[in-house]
Amino acid sequence: MLKYALLGFLNYGPMSGYDLKQLMDQSTANFWHAKLSQIYVTLKALEAEDMITSSAVTQESRPDRRVYSITAKGKADLSKWVNTPDLEIAQSKEPFLLKLFFSAQISKENLLSQLRIQRDLHQKILERNKTELAAVIAQTTEQAPHLKKDALLWEATRRSGEIIDEAIIRWLDETIEIINKEF
């Protein structure tokens, strides 16, 4: 899938692995991420498959860059992927829920502390979502009116994060109350 994230971004224009990492961290971080090392490996693989091409760009006072462009074959593959519906929900793994599931033997204080830590963490992510991330999307919409449909979808994915984090915070508040009374 990282493959399609890279093709998706390169479909907007040529850029380097380093650029791709930064874009991802700014836009899709809440639902898709990758390490630089893995991005470089995947770019090599995509080039070997003729999905992208690259050229070295010499810079003064900065390290050289390798800039990648999507090919017709890459565009076709990307298009096929976005057009094909996902017919199953991807099973996810939530380490905190797993830990909570097996936490019956820990102290009430530790349990409540761990729930409050989760609440704070989700609160911070939610705040960043509603400020920084919303601003990035709003800015693109203003500066590039031809990306109107794109911005609509980017905003939908941002909203998804907002709604889900709000739900998680409500659940944590509810759970803290229940543990307080009944554990």
Partner DNA sequence: TGATACATGTAAGGGGTTACATGATTTC
Partner DNA sequence: GAAATCATGTAACCCCTTACATGTATCA
AA identity, residue 78: L
Tell me which of 8, 11, 14, 18 binds DNA, using CB under 7 A. Answer: 18
Sole window of 58-66, 73-81, 110-118, 171-179 interacting with DNA (rule: CB under 7 A): 58-66
Asked whether the CA dihedral 3, 128, 169, 183 is positive or negative, the reply is positive
Q: Hey, is 3 helix, strand or coil?
A: helix
Q: How far apart are CA 57 and CA 47, in angstroms?
A: 17
- Answer yes or no whether residue 80 interacts with DNA by CB under 7 A: no
DSSP 28: T
Sole window of 54-62, 75-83, 104-112, 173-181 interacting with DNA (rule: CB under 7 A): 54-62
Q: Which of 113/139 has CB closer to DNA?
A: 139
CB of 14 to a second copy, least distance (A): 17
- Under a CB-based contact definition with an 8 Å cutoff, are residues 75 and 11 in contact? yes
Q: Which residues bind DNA (CB under 7 A)?
A: 1-3, 16-19, 22, 33-38, 40-45, 59, 61-67, 91, 93
